[in-house]
Amino acid sequence: MTRFLAILITVFIGRVATAQMNDPLYDLNQKVHFGFSIIGTYGKMKFSRNEQFFSLPIDTLNSITTTNFPGLGVGGIVNFHLNEFWDLRTMAIVQVMSQRNLTYHFKGGMTKTAMLQSTYFEVPLLIKYKSVRHKNFRMYVIGGIGYRYNFTSDAETERSATKPIVGMKASTINYDLGFGFDLYYPYFKFSPEIKISNDIGNALIKDNYIYTQSLGGLYPKLIQLSLHFE
């Protein structure tokens, strides 16, 4: 998927570079633009260990490792043009499917894996700063904060010593930082963008079992490669 997206972006940039000038007043004619996004994601998980990781109730646990997976998302765009260089943007009804696994390695070679699957609804509020437009091309940087709700949170899932369940908070706040390119076509604007989207604060829900007791905190992270069409 990554190779396909890279080829697609290269083709778009090449065509824009050789195309005639397309709608030089695109960013000025309308104060509000609408669009949609196709989003490729890569979910990561940063975690910290309990300060008592090597003591009493968890002394049979050697280590914890993470496995990360790609995912997909779609979204709608509402973009407010503020002036030549600044935009205010929100992404409505964004769904991102992502998964991270935590594998627990116990003494004697036994392992247990907790699957942290996520289907997100996101509403980010972003500021976009754009460079001077050169023909049909301009660069931009983007950043902001957002609200994220996980429909598949294990917050209420039944737990036991034999079920490797790790619950995360369903509602979290995240920050976004990224950059991209605006490529102008006769009837639309195409913007490939790469962005990191990381939760703020500890998302872990503690319980009385080793799978969460061994952890100090969980901090979900997403790398997002988006193809925006406006």
Dump pLDDT digits (tens) for 8-48: 555 555 554 445 556 666 666 678 889 999 999 998 888 88
3-state secondary structure the chain: CHHHHHHHHHHHHHHHHHCCCCCCCHHHHCCEEEEEEEEEEEEEEEEEECCCCCCHHHCCEEEEEEEEEEEEEEEEEEEEECCCCEEEEEEEEEEEEEEEEEEEEECCCCEEEEEEEEEEEEEEEEEEEECCCECCEEEEEEEEEEEEEECCCCCCCCCECCECCCEECCEEEEEEEEEEEEEECCCCEEEEEEEEEEECCCCEECCCCHHHHCEEEEEEEEEEEEEEEC
Higher pLDDT, residue 165 or 55: 165
* Domain boundaries of the chain, sorted by first residue: 2-229
Average pLDDT over residues 89-117: 85
Dump pLDDT digits (tens) for 183-210: 988 888 899 999 999 999 899 988 888 8
Higher pLDDT, residue 48 or 225: 225
pTM: 0.81
Domain 2-229 has what CATH class? mainly beta
